[in-house]
Every structure is written in structure tokens, then in C-alpha cells.
Amino acid sequence: MTRPSNKPMSAARRNRRWTAAAVPALAGRVAVVTGANSGIGLETSSVLAARGATVVLGCRDVRRASQAADQIRSRTGAEPARVSVVQLDLASLESVRRAAAEIRSSFSALDLLINNAAVMRPPNQRSAEGFELTFATNHLGHFALTGLLLDRLTATAGSRIVTVSSIGHRDGMMHFDDLQFDGGYHADDAYAQSKLANLLFTHELHARLQAAGTPTIALAAHPGLARTSLWRWDPLPVRVLASRALRPATFWLAQSAKMGALPTLRAATDPAARGGDYYGPGGWREYTGYPARVESSAASHDATAQRRLWAASEQLTSVSYRI
């Protein structure tokens, strides 16, 4: 992976139409993408494979992941060995440990870890360890996976960890006194908290990696409003608005998964990207558009909250980072 530049990016360069064509050649690079069997993860994995990377699809449903792997090979002409599947259920820390062990046994070094998988506003459910499902899947599972793979990443110059957040993080608040919503579940609040946690995690991870002088950087991205299966638990009127039948009327409000994947791809591969950067669509309210460097909420930069979440995450997952 090309080492990122520390030079400030000009306004012209920031605002140009960055597309998948800008992704550099990635032959010999290894990328792990969670939630890669559909939506943003599938599109991200397809572009990485097309540019020559070896891509590991970390997915809960192995059958669907295998179908996605076949689709990526068909799209890109990638050799079968360059697109593989690892069973990964982020709502089970046992599954996360098994997946990490399998990846470690296959690769001595990793170039990219893309923490993409997510659930959005599901009914109140619990993970295998009894954690609230949204927080477990969107944050704790990725925190554990990153920690378990960290030495494989820090062994690689120019390696990157990209965590996918959401514009919904702006409404987020960390309920440190009740992270699992034991006092009453609110789907919107749970999702916003988890997406804020993604950014708190990224900023704290970046600071720790930088302080240790490692060659790895941490970044974040969000897809804006993209039409993916994440919407499946939304109310019927929202799902109707996002349906294929109404796309001609609502195209300005939501974009395709291919467009939604571009911020992730830019964070993962743009040589000008720097640790701690956050990418999202550059259009109105960051709903749609080509990827640009964007700003996360003030709450995501709260250093006390970053450290507090880190400590809670280590305690809940029993995964400690050795940086």
C-alpha cells in the first residue's frame, strides 16, 4: 500500500470527482472486508479485487458469501485464490476469534482491514454474549477483530484500518451508564450510539498508532444515504421511498451501493489520505455525491469519551491491544 502523504490537500484536489478508476494497482496486497456479501462491502471488495488485491470476505452467512465471491470473480476475472471467504459473525466474540485465527493462519501480513459490516435499527436482540445486538455487531465485534489482527497490520508498511460509520453518528450519544440499553431499547438511539462509537474508536486508534510510531493508520468513512439491505428494518414508508420503483423520483436523496462504496475506497487507497481522516459523499448534507474529506461531530472528538469507550470495549471483549 502506498504510504500516505503528509502534504495538505488543495481545494481543487479535495473537490475533484474521485471515482473507482483512481484506486491504484493493488497486486500483492491483502484486504479483509467485513460484511462483504452485499451492498457497500460487496462493491468495495469488487473494486479491490479488480485492482489486483487478494480479498478476504468476512461474512456471517458462508453460503451467501461464497455466492458473492463467485460474483466478484466473474466481475473482475480474479483468480479463485484471490477471493476467499471466512465465516465471521460479529455478534459472537467466539466467531470473531475463530475468524481472526483463520486469517492469521493464512496471512503473515495484512494491508487493509475494512470494518464495514453493520446492522441498522433491528428489533431488540442480544448477541451471543448478551450484548445489545447493534452495539455488539457495529462496534464490539470490529473492536475485537481489529485487535486480534493488529500485529498482522502493523507488520505492513502503509497498512490501513478503515471503519465505516454513518451520518447517523451526528445524533449519537454514548450511554456509558447503559451501553446495552437494559433500561429500555430505542432502535434509533442504539444505531446512532454504535456509529458514534465507530468514530470514537477510529480517532483513539489513530492516536495510539501514531504515538507508537507504527506504519499503520486508522481512518473512517461513511456512504451517505445508499440503497442497501441495511434499510430492511426501517418502516414501510421509508422502504417504499428507497424502492427501485421510486428511484427516478428519489435519486437525489439516496445513491447506489457503488457510489456509497467510494468513500470507503478512498479512505482505503487514496495516497493523499492521512490517519484520522473521515470521508463521505461531498454533496448536500453528505447524502450523495463523490467522496470528499468531511468532518465528524464534535462528540466524536471528545478525548475523554474515546478513552472511556476503549476501556469499556477491552473489558467487554477481553481483547487488549498491544501497540
pLDDT, tens digit (0-9, with 9 covering 90-100), for 233-265: 445 444 444 445 444 444 446 799 999 999 999
Instruction: Identify the segments of the chain with pLDDT beneath 70.
Output: 1-15, 228-253
Set 185, 191, 279, 290: catalytic member: 191
- Contact present, 55 and 131 (Cβ < 8 Å): no
pLDDT, tens digit (0-9, with 9 covering 90-100), for 181-238: 999 999 999 999 999 999 999 999 999 999 999 999 999 999 999 876 554 444 544 4
- DSSP summary character for residue 138: I
Distances (CA, A) of 301 to 15, 277, 287: 24, 12, 22
What is the CA 222 to chain-centroid distance, rounded?
8
Return the number of other C-beta atoms located less than 10 Å from residue 201's C-beta: 26
Answer yes or no: 191 catalytic. Answer: yes
For the chain, which domains are there?
11-317 (3.40.50.720)
pTM: 0.90
Please name the residue that has the C-alpha cell 476501556.
Answer: 311
